[in-house]
Amino acid sequence: MLSGTNGGMGPGGSWESLGGTLESVPVVVSDSPNKIDVYALGTDSAMWYRSWEGGWTPWKSVQRSFQWPPAAVSWGPGRVDLFARNISDQAQPGSVA
């Protein structure tokens, strides 16, 4: 996975690798100014995330047993709600604070 700044490949822009091996496309959400959270499924079917708040945190696992890419939304400071289907094909909402 790559992160781009200043337009990514445009003049003055650059890309950096965020590492990890992802099974799904990443989703990005922000629950406060100058903070970005990235969520995706790993090859182990776990939901993985990392955050940027002046620098990137390491990848962390949220929960195992998902088969569909997540959706994420923030409706207030410090609140991220995730939605995904588990391996039983059931919708499984969750919150990350």
Q: Report the chain's mean pLDDT, rounded to a whole number.
A: 79
Structural domain includes residue 15: no
Residue 12: per-residue pLDDT: 59
Is 62 inside any structural domain? yes
Give the C-alpha separation, 12 to 20, whole Å. Answer: 26
Q: What does pTM read for this prediction?
A: 0.77
Choose among 74, 13, 77, 42: nearest CA to 50.
42
In a domain, 14, yes or no: no
Distance set, CA 54 to CA 11, 34, 36, 57 (Å): 22, 8, 10, 10
Residue 13 lies in a domain: no
pLDDT level of residue 37 (50, 70, 90 thresholds): very high
The verdict on residue 16 lying in a domain is: no
Domains: count for the chain? 1
Beta strand pairing call for 47-52 and 60-63: antiparallel
Query: Is pLDDT above 50 for 4?
Result: yes
Is 11 inside a domain boundary?
no
Give mean pLDDT, residues 24-53: 90
For residue 55, give the 3-state DSSP assignment: coil
